[in-house]
Amino acid sequence: MQTTAGNSVDFTQTVLEHMAFLTRIACLQLGEDGHDAAQETLIAALNGHERYAAQSSVRAWLLGILRHKVIDIIRLKKKFPIIALDDLIAEYDTQ
């Protein structure tokens, strides 16, 4: 569905129609963190709807945003790896 960013109600509805698809794609790449990436994509799209130029489909534009959100989450996980609480307790107990 092609739409312009001029009508924000229609644009919001169009974006929401793609959320299930975006969530599936993100979860394939990130697992449970995919839900966060999809929600961040929704927020970015709604906040930046005036930048949508209608030269490509809304889905393609959303996938571009999602791609960047997925990369951001991957980078964040590398920078701050998740350590299980049991591992921390075991390490503390051995000291």
Q: Select from 74, 12, 21 the least CA-distant residue to 43.
A: 12
**pLDDT for the residue numbered 5:** 46
Q: Select from 15, 11, 7, 24 the least CA-distant residue to 60.
A: 15
Alpha carbons 35 and 29: distance in angstroms, whole number = 11
**pLDDT for the residue numbered 77:** 86
**pLDDT for the residue numbered 94:** 73
Q: What is the mean pLDDT of each run of 10 residues along the chain (95 residues)?
A: 60 93 96 95 91 84 96 89 76 73
Q: For every residue of the chain, which 3-state class applies, written as one string?
A: CCCCCCCHHHHHHHHHHCHHHHHHHHHHHHCCHHHHHHHHHHHHHHHCHHHCCCCCCHHHHHHHHHHHHHHHHHHHHHHCCCCCHHHHHHHHHCC
